[in-house]
Structure 1
């Protein structure tokens, strides 16, 4: 049987509060607790709680034949624990069914895989510890990097950490004439299987579902099943990867998105020869057809499917470089506040807010940012980073004095 592999990204950053130049050296707490709590609770009511309840209902209704996978960033798990324990409990119930897979990722939803192998490994280790803590010792087997960022080199590092598979984007400029609907292998270490997002069908749900100017609006289960049946019979896995906030937050309940998902598994079982599989099942059952060569990192962001959403302008590059210049110093400092802030300052969203991309992608960037302009985002972040640098220097001085 061919399979559909549903994967949902769950992430909320720890947002930085307004931080002025005059706060540098005076205020060492950077996080906007009020906004973070408010947003978590809002999205919980619109997305997490109703969608988790729906998925649990579907898993029971189809006796475990319907399956999905999640990756939940560590910073998001921390906020669930602090502000939304009911959401965390609803995810635990899903995992307890045995038909929901949790994927590994970087703890802070960070870009460290692009800069530092050692920090990448530390981040993944922290995230694995949180999965064990919150989900009864859960051990992830498949990896999903921040925003599906992937390259041959990153995949090889993931294989070295012991993962069986990894998810990424089925980018057109990488695939060429090939289909994303197969299992592939990492070009450096073929032991790592690679699942590629079918961006056409994924984005039909995630981005186009409520777009009344779309030629195929409205999207019905009957129409979607017709598209599934059009996939050539030799293509064995359909990877539908998307933000979990698609359901109820990006696509409001009034659009019919929950009803669409409620009806989809039954339509798939009745009218297609597809079933559902978790990523681990997909990489274990599928036979890799080829190595996928990705010499330059790709992601699932924007039209280019590259890194320009986070590192596409001088503001972003300066902030990114300044941050990682601190790594060798920070790792020597045994201070929980320093380590927490170092972790959370790496979250990719901070760099995303600094994007100056325009046209169609610009609207998406604006939607997700709480800043008036990318320059405001840059100034606020750099003010915080300046204070953090001072704290690191002071800790270094303390360590040196203690060693004398």
Structure 2
């Protein structure tokens, strides 16, 4: 047992979590049940909310803040007392789908300015293999004047937070950990063992841990891309994809994935980190990029089908009203990062359709700031088309009565997840799903 670990559990050496979003905040609060924690974020408004026991992401109740030994701060000076730093900032892509490391490198600079001999720095942000040691460590060394592994230790433990999921949480998911040497790996594993009941998996190197994380979502992305392509094929055959999946799922080893818009901060982003690195070392990742291409084109595909169906039903595109239900990247969360529903709305608007958007979870100001789109407080039918884009529980509860009240007779019902296909038969409409 290392001296630093002993100091952490005795609350003599605080843990600092840099970046208090969907990943960092639950991690910081979990540690704060057992040890001293400094929660750092550059967004002063978010810090003010957390000091009032409010999760800006809307994931955690105020009770999760109670009795926690944590200091929320946006002041770099407060980080100087920490000895174990965890970086949990976003790693997005830019508009050219290239990795945008600015948040990660900026957080690394922050840590580098306060790093001391004997400290640990562990990264949780999703990156390509080699990023921690090749891009981040040199910054830490340059700003601190210290040498990695000799003067301070470096580790990597990829986040596995799933927004909106109350079953698979930090405590219940095995935590992959890696570090620059066996001694530091043991310390990192022990520290995370304080808050992860499912245990830890000790990866043999930091690069292995980075690669393991990035392929988790790449695998899901490719499987969804297959479903999306199958849905296009079955649509031309006039076969319902969800009926096909129900039949195929009766085989014990069939993997149940479904078609849909692939957004969010993980599945729609992480593969680009891997393909970027692959191309940098001279390999063109055909399969991965093919799947990405299919998924990125789905919003345009859906918009085109909506227009075709409206025309087939005799509706005038110049006067047609379309309701889009849901704009968050997945059901029952308020997270709108990389929402492909926004792409769908913009595609529909390019056909001069009058599009209204509703979502009981999304923040109206955030949607307008991020995508230039306004949310409607409530639907104002009748509509020529209704698109169930995100199957929030509120929309799953809609029945024949609600749909008939909102949809014009001979209207078009677009159900991306196949949620309404049983009740659509009772509504006078043209029904379509992926």
> What TM-score does the superposition give when structure 1 sets the normalisation length?
0.31
Structure 1 or 2: larger helix share?
1
- Structure with larger Rg: 2
> Which is bigger in relative contact order (C-alpha 8 A, separation at least 6)?
1
> What TM-score does the superposition give when structure 2 sets the normalisation length?
0.30
